[in-house]
Amino acid sequence: MNQQPEISSDKPIEEPYSFSKDKIGRELSYPLKRSLLDSALHSASAYATVYSVRYLGHRNSNVVLDASFTPEWKGHPTVRGRCLITVWAVPNQQRHSAEQLLVAEGLPILCRWLARTQSEGNAWRGSEHMLNFEIRDGRLRCSEQ
């Protein structure tokens, strides 16, 4: 008799987020490796809060990463109450310093914000929110909208 393996219910099953990555020219690079992002998300138990990660192959002014929260009433059921993370390309000469800033300062802030999206009340979760990271004058700046 075949017996089905027992599935532990104490830990939610984490489905992988959708992922896309634009090809970029030689003058641009992505400031964050996907493995570093995934490691931070898993370490902070924030992986399940993300429905998609995209790496866009053009610049967005000084923005290097942003995250947007989809309200619980909007969109497809798989994205409601979850976040989209966008990593923006930077000039090659800025890639290393941007990655260092994101890993040291940005990812901890991002993970705390992602965790917060799940613990906020109905009023907060009922509207769109965005977290932006930009590098100005060699410093990482974070703003929330």
pLDDT at 8 (0 to 100): 39
User: Residue-wise over 118-142: b if at least 16 C-beta within 10 A, else e?
Assistant: eeeeeeebeeebebbbbbeeeebee
Report H helices in 9-80.
34-43
pTM of the model: 0.86
Give the distance, in angstroms, between the CA of residue 2 and the centroid of all CA atoms in the same chain. 41
Q: Evaluate whether 64 touches 102 at the Cβ level (below 8 Å).
A: yes
pLDDT at 78 (0 to 100): 76
Q: What is the pLDDT of residues 3-23, one digit of tens each?
A: 544 433 344 445 688 999 999
Q: Evaluate whether 66 touches 133 at the Cβ level (below 8 Å).
A: yes
Tell me the pLDDT of the chain (145 aa) as tens digits: 445 444 333 444 456 889 999 999 899 999 999 999 999 999 999 999 999 999 999 888 899 999 999 987 777 777 888 999 999 999 999 999 999 999 999 999 999 999 999 888 888 888 899 999 999 999 999 999 8
Tokens 């990812």 correspond to: 107
Q: Evaluate whether 56 touches 87 at the Cβ level (below 8 Å).
A: yes
Q: Evaluate whether 28 touches 59 at the Cβ level (below 8 Å).
A: yes
